[in-house]
Amino acid sequence: MDQEKQTLEAKVDELRRRLEQLEEEWETLSSRVSRMTVSKLTDPRHPLIDWELHHFSSEAEHVRFHATMTALQNRLKGAIVPENEQVEIEGIARTALYSPARPTATEIIEALKLVTHGTERSVVKLMELAKEEFAYDYEELADFVLESFVR
């Protein structure tokens, strides 16, 4: 019995050391990524991704943003998303994201203010960046918001 207890204690100690090592590695990598984000040059082909690097601190925020953008873009195009493919976004009613009706610029701006924790002005700026982004196809959504905002 004592042998089993010692073996378990040794294993627990080993796992604690490994956890400490992983936590230290995580902190180091996180710090390096933060410094790299600050020091890098912005690629003009990816202004939206650059914005994300500076504004989203978690992958969950990134996913929430793109799920919202995609849902609104689909709605703008009249594409119906099957219920089993609809993504739940905290703070936004599912009917607002996946309604078959064409969204208004105000609906789009309000939804994006929620997921980016921004203002109307920051969302309009974001749409300017989205229009220029090569990695994602949000140009139609961006044009719609920008044209509506200018009027």
pLDDT digits (tens, 9 = 90+) for 24-74: 999 998 888 888 877 788 888 899 999 998 889 889 999 999 999 999 999
In the chain, domain spans: 1-40, 47-150
Distance of CA 62 to the CA centre of its chain: 1
pLDDT at 150 over 80: no
pLDDT digits (tens, 9 = 90+) for 84-129: 999 999 999 998 899 999 999 999 999 999 999 999 999 999 999 9
Q: pTM here? A: 0.78
CA dihedral 81, 106, 149, 117 (to 10 degrees): -90
User: Angle 59-77/47-55 helices, nearest 10 degrees?
Assistant: 140
> What six digits make up the tokens of 6?
């010692």
